[in-house]
Structure 1
Amino acid sequence: FLVHCRALIFPLLIRAGKPTPFFTFVLALLFCVYNGYLQGRSLSNYAIYPSGWLKDPCFITGIIGWLIGMAINIHSDHILRNLRKPGETGYKIPRGGMFEYVSGANFFGEIVEWFGFALACCTIESLSFALCTLFILGSRAKQHHQWYLEKFEDYPKNRKIVIPFVY
């Protein structure tokens, strides 16, 4: 859970852009602190795993899903950070990687990541976090998708919102 450091590293890598409203920052901070506490407490105090859990297909599949999701997330963030060259202004259509399939490729990666985490942990708390991630980022991806369609006449019409080939 702690290895996922997007919240710490991504802000340091992006170029200056629009400032985040303070209220949004506070809500995000509170969510992250509460979720971190909930996940940590669940895993350290309540989750009970059999001795062979690390070899269980559920755990292995979950870890693989988490790693794939993280790789998609990092790659998609890299594409977004490099859309404009230094000094350039204006908006561009993201291309490459999962952006060929969905408008919210970074969101898709994060959703896959946290469902993988939930599968590896097999706790109600990790599943609730994965579902929250799906609903929150799914709605953000829908807003981004609609914005892209309105802003760019040549935006790929076959791109889905956040789940390749589905939504």
Structure 2
Amino acid sequence: MARPMWIRYRWSFDCYAQCRVAYKLQDWLKKTSTISDVKKQYQLKKKSAYPSRQSYRLEPKGKSLKDEQTLNSLGLRSGSKLYFKDLGPQVGWSTVFLTEYFGPLVIYLIFYVRPSIIYGADAADQPRDIAVHIAAACWTFHYAKRLLETIFVHRFSHATMPIMNIFKYICVQVLNVLTLFSVFTSAYLLPSTEFGNAQLYGGLAGFLFAEYGNWRIHMAFRNLRTPGTKERRIPNATGDPMTILFNLVTCPNYTYETIAWVSFSVMTQCLPALVFGVCGFVQMAIWAKGKHRNYLKEFKNYPRGRKAILPFLI
């Protein structure tokens, strides 16, 4: 039997803080043991630290190590140190996304079907402009699409995320729905757009185009990863014309998402929708830049001419 490899671990709840030696793991870890094995061994010491809330790094500010990486491949020897961070209570990505998308879908439709709840008893008798009906259909389509993609399309590289994020997403989405409805109060009585049908249906066309493009990009990302694995490959344009944006940006799904919200704002002439879209773009740009940097570090042959989210700009 191979001689056990003793690894001395340093830990801290904040990996950027000054770490201190907490204990010495002397379990039967071998050179071929993986980070996943380390997590399981640590859980034996601390029952509440289930594997998905553990993160290990070679340096305090380093990148989290992957579960499948072996101690030998990381150059760890007897007496080597790993930096540990407790990620806190976790929740599955699918649960987060289902909660984030189901909430605004249901709330919007309740207020649309029963306008008296927010607009008063006489609201049901008021004439509704066609923009209100089209906006409700687009909203329903957008979030129903997201729910279906979460269930049938997305393959997540990380199984969980911090549980507090679920409350953040719920608050943001509920605030967005209520803001939109505060503006749609006048939409029951006023013309839908200043420039008539050209603005309304032009915005609708842009919205549907962007939603279709977003779906095709999600399918392309799905096909990059073999089911049941966490492998990462460079995304490239396929034979689908909607994936041409891969030649220009790393995250074209975010690009299409931005186009969809701008088109929705033009279609409804709704300023809060545009504000929400801008805030969403800022967050997506942060995510896109992070993913772009990771691709550049991970793949030496990653196309250097690509931007993160906006062609030639960002």
Q: TM-score range by the shorter chain?
A: 0.7 to 0.9
CA contact (8 A) 1:53 1:59 kept: no
The structure-2 alpha-carbon separation of the partners of 1:120 and 1:2, relative to structure 1 and needing over 3 Å to count, comes to same
Q: Report % sequence identity.
A: 25
Instruction: Flag the structure with higher helix content.
Output: 1
The structure-2 alpha-carbon separation of the partners of 1:7 and 1:32, relative to structure 1 and needing over 3 Å to count, comes to farther
CA contact (8 A) 1:117 1:126 kept: yes
**Aligned match of 1:164:** 311
Structure 2 residue 148 is the aligned partner of structure 1 residue 9 = yes
Q: 2: distance between equivalents of 1:116 and 1:108? A: 12
SS at 1:4 equivalent: helix
- Write the mapping of 1:140-151 to structure 2, written as runs, cut at 5 A: 140-151=287-298
Which runs of no fewer than 5 residues in structure 1 stay unpaired? Answer: none
CA contact (8 A) 2:157 2:230 kept: no
**Aligned match of 2:175:** 34
Match of residue 67, structure 1, among 194, 203, 208 = 208
**Aligned match of 1:58:** 199
TM-score, normalised relative to structure 2: 0.49
- Cα drift, residue 109 of structure 1: 0.8
Match of residue 260, structure 2, among 107, 113, 116 = 113
TM-score, normalised relative to structure 1: 0.88
**Aligned match of 2:235:** 94
Q: 1: distance between equivalents of 2:312 and 2:150? A: 30
Which runs of no fewer than 5 residues in structure 2 stay unpaired? Answer: 1-138, 238-242
The structure-2 alpha-carbon separation of the partners of 1:51 and 1:161, relative to structure 1 and needing over 3 Å to count, comes to closer
Q: 1: distance between equivalents of 2:149 and 2:205? A: 22
RCO higher in structure (CA 8 A, sep ≥6): 1
The structure-2 alpha-carbon separation of the partners of 1:15 and 1:162, relative to structure 1 and needing over 3 Å to count, comes to closer
CA contact (8 A) 1:70 1:109 kept: yes
Q: 1: distance between equivalents of 2:271 and 2:193? A: 21
SS at 2:309 equivalent: coil
Per-residue CA distance 1:137-161 (angstroms, 9 max, x = gap): 1121111111111111111111111
- Cα drift, residue 135 of structure 1: 1.0
CA contact (8 A) 1:118 1:126 kept: yes
- Write the mapping of 1:17-28 to structure 2, written as runs, cut at 5 A: 17-18=157-158, 19-28=160-169
The structure-2 alpha-carbon separation of the partners of 1:88 and 1:46, relative to structure 1 and needing over 3 Å to count, comes to same
- Cα drift, residue 17 of structure 1: 4.1
Q: 1: distance between equivalents of 2:195 and 2:142? A: 20
Read off the aligned partner of 1:142 and give its amino acid letter.
K
Aligned length: 166
